[in-house]
Amino acid sequence: MTRILAIGGLVLTFALGWVESTPVRAADVGATVEPFTLNDFRGATVHSTDFKDVKCLVVAFLGTECPLAKLYGPRLQQLAKEYEPQGAKFLSINANQQDSIADITAYVKELGIEYPILKDPGQKVADLFGAVRTPEVFVISPLGVVLYRGRVDDQYIVGVQRKAAERQDLRVALDEILAGKPVSVARTEPIGCLIGRVRQPKKDATVTWSNQIVRLVQTHCVDCHRPGEIGPFSLLSFDDAQGWGDMIAEVVADRRMPPWHADAPHGKFANDTSLSEEERELILTWVKDGCPEGDKSQLPPTPTFVEGWQLSKAPDAVFDMDSKPFSIPADAGPRGVKYQYFMVDPKFDTDKWVTEVEAVPSNRAVVHHIIVFVASPDQKKGVEGDFLCAYVPGARTRPAQPGQAKKIKAGSMFKFQVHYTPNGSPQEDLSKVGMIFADEKSVTHEVRTTEVINTSFRLEPEKDNQSFTAKSRPSPIDLSMISLAPHMHLRGKAFKYELELPDGTRQVVLNVPRYDFNWQTNYLLTEPVKVPQGARMVCTAVYDNSRNNPANPDPTREVGWGDQSWDEMMLGYFDVIVPRGSTEMKSMRSSVGPEMILRKFDKDKDKKISKEESKEHDMLSKGFIVGDTNRDGFLDEEELDAVIEKFRKIAR
């Protein structure tokens, strides 16, 4: 999962790409870069010829808002400390038209950068080098000959964050150069944000920011791309957006942005952020024409937001997870940081109805996810509690529909489950939950979250397209489903929800053919889907544990259920609404299913349980004779399902 500085999914999916949409002259390896002169962000003049006595000069093109440039700025600082005593010299160039001197100053202060950062107005020096992206690194000789060009290392590719780099490209190149050897790999492909170049707007452009593009951005983008949110830069104004034109065009053309992964033929969703072909073409035309601003009098009002929240207004109540921040180590080793749990007493002496709720980390860089549960006074000890809300990569908060709300019983406790991912330096976090209360008199339906779960799957090593299913318990009453949120980890490939009606027929409610761990969307149905009594939710998850999956932490491992991102999960969350005061509704949460039984007890792998195999499980043994309805001496998947449900009813 990703964040603004720690990177990973959320932001990298926007910020990376390969298309070079602005033609520049390339300074290939072996070419000579002409001498240049620039001022640093403090105003001091720096000449490239000042470094003629060094063994090599490392020139890194960086930007202040590009997520990768934020990551690699400090890494370059560490390399500078190591290699400058050996005869190398480091400096950085900021060529982005959208980055001001104040932005560079803040970047230097925030990240502790000590090497010089020069400002390149008009991208003249960037053009000398043929630089395209941030970060992009060049190593040149004292005479200006390019010895190495490309990335710092290979930890990141488009939309994917490896746990660690497999090859330290810049480090290897410097070791070879300083040892007087030829560079073994002198050219690598940089990834990151396109340099924001000065563009000449088309004078007679019909598509402008003011008359069309701003409205598309307000509808599809600014929910994330605004100060304090997960987008790496703001798009609230023309001044914010114009320098990112080429980058916007790239990710829109590649359909990486806006992020939306539901298959169009199945279901309609109220939070669908995808662009139509016409909208996509408008954006590409705007960038092609130089990002013209147009007539400012046509601008719509700038949307307003609640600072620090996605909620529609300031929260009625906010609860920190603890009285003090939790400390996250720089590195937790191969086991990672265990899930942390924090109990909070909100001191509710009356029942509360909540129409909006949001979990917020104080440090996105290290928070992988937050789940807030409600442990009511009448729940058994050790029970996780009812799902209240979650923070996961890409999740967006939306208010409940009129008349709908979640109930928090008087005397309940909040249980925070927080998963931390170290990012190489000691960090602290104090996550919180905020909520907006509904007028109790207005509530007609209660929102409840349940899920389909499979914990017994095993992914074979080196294999793609491994499919597993799980079923919910039958719905005890007629109800309506309002949203769905699939969850897998880095090997997740596709996820499908099907509603199985009492007569056995199925209808696809949601299909996500290209699951993205970096954008875990809660898909809000435009119209509730009716779930009749006895119906079930059937989820199918597909995994890629092969080497062809660039996000795969280790394709040689057999993988099962586990907490960490390098393990796997299969969860199909969904929200339902029931009439307020309904006492018949129990969770549809699946705890065990036929597939799990088969995986554990089907020794000969014939997808049936024999009489002999059933002896290893008390429930199967007791229910075998009654469950074997076709009298063939085996329990197949359908018969197993009936046996499991029979014992569930007995347990209730």
pTM for this prediction: 0.81
For 408, the 3-state DSSP assignment is strand
- What is the model's pLDDT at position 574? 96
Q: What is the pLDDT of residues 576-585, one digit of tens each?
A: 999 988 766 5
Q: Tell me the percentage of the chain whose pLDDT exceeds 90.
A: 72
CA distance linking residue 578 with residue 445, whole number of Å:
5
CA distance linking residue 58 with residue 66, whole number of Å:
20
Nearest to 118 by CA among 27, 47, 55: 47
Tokens standing for 177? Answer: 């150069």
pLDDT band at 607 (very low <50, low <70, confident <90, very high): confident
Which helix (H) or strand (E) covers residue 101, if one does?
A: helix 101-111
CA distance linking residue 167 with residue 153, whole number of Å:
6
- What is the model's pLDDT at position 652? 42
9-194 and 306-443, same CATH topology: no
Catalogue the E-assigned strands of 345-478.
352-360, 367-375, 386-391, 404-408, 413-420, 427-429, 432-437, 445-453, 463-471
364 CB-near residues (< 8 Å, 6+ apart): 3, 4, 5, 6, 230
Distances (CA, A) of 281 to 174, 216, 255, 278, 375: 44, 12, 12, 5, 50
Angle subtended by helix axes 618-627 and 637-651, to nearest 10: 120
- What is the model's pLDDT at position 597? 76
For residues 197 and 123, the answer to whether their CB atoms sit within 8 Å is: yes
The CATH homologous superfamily for domain 9-194 is: Glutaredoxin (3.40.30.10)
Residue 381 has pLDDT above 80, yes or no: no
- What is the model's pLDDT at position 336? 86
Tokens standing for 453? Answer: 């779960």
Task: Return the domain boundaries, the chain.
Answer: 9-194, 209-298, 306-443, 444-591, 595-651
Q: What is the pLDDT of residues 4-38, one digit of tens each?
A: 333 333 333 333 333 334 444 557 899 999 999 99
CA distance linking residue 411 with residue 379, whole number of Å:
11
CA distance linking residue 485 with residue 432, whole number of Å:
22
Q: What single letter denotes the amino acid at residue 423?
A: N
pLDDT band at 2 (very low <50, low <70, confident <90, very high): very low
Residue 263 has pLDDT above 60, yes or no: yes
Distances (CA, A) of 590 to 383, 583, 621: 15, 20, 21
Nearest to 270 by CA among 214, 218, 219, 213: 219
Mean pLDDT of all residues in the chain?
89
State mean pLDDT over 108-124: 95
Residue 594 has pLDDT above 90, yes or no: no
In CATH terms, the fold of domain 306-443 is: Jelly Rolls (2.60.120)
For residues 417 and 392, the answer to whether their CB atoms sit within 8 Å is: no
For residues 15 and 233, the answer to whether their CB atoms sit within 8 Å is: no
For 619, the 3-state DSSP assignment is helix
Tokens standing for 32? Answer: 């000579």
CA distance linking residue 564 with residue 545, whole number of Å:
16
Residue 93 has pLDDT above 90, yes or no: yes
- What is the model's pLDDT at position 415? 95
CA distance linking residue 538 with residue 468, whole number of Å:
11
How many residues comprise the chain?
652
Q: How far apart are the first and last CA of the chain?
A: 38
Whether the bond into 258 is cis, omega within 30 of 0: yes
Q: What is residue 210's DSSP assignment?
A: I
For residues 195 and 96, the answer to whether their CB atoms sit within 8 Å is: yes
Tokens standing for 38? Answer: 């620039």
In CATH terms, the fold of domain 595-651 is: Recoverin; domain 1 (1.10.238)
Longest dimension (CA), the chain: 90
Nearest to 588 by CA among 573, 604, 610, 609: 573
Distances (CA, A) of 24 to 125, 129, 133, 336: 11, 9, 11, 43
Residue 590 has pLDDT above 70, yes or no: no
The CATH class of 444-591 is mainly beta
State mean pLDDT over 76-95: 97
For residues 59 and 129, the answer to whether their CB atoms sit within 8 Å is: yes
Q: What is the pLDDT of residues 501-532, one digit of tens each?
A: 999 999 999 999 999 998 999 999 999 999 99
Q: CA angle, 189 as apex, 185 and 193 as ends, to 5°?
A: 145
For residues 365 and 5, the answer to whether their CB atoms sit within 8 Å is: yes
- What is the model's pLDDT at position 596? 65
CA distance linking residue 515 with residue 524, whole number of Å:
17
Question: By mean pLDDT, which of 50-59, 87-96, 219-228, 331-340 is the weakest?
Answer: 331-340
pLDDT band at 351 (very low <50, low <70, confident <90, very high): very high
Tokens standing for 251? Answer: 């990710």
- What is the model's pLDDT at position 650? 52
For residues 515 and 488, the answer to whether their CB atoms sit within 8 Å is: yes
Q: What single letter denotes the amino acid at residue 375?
A: A
Distances (CA, A) of 535 to 285, 501, 532, 582: 48, 5, 6, 18
CB atoms within 10 A of CB 580: 15
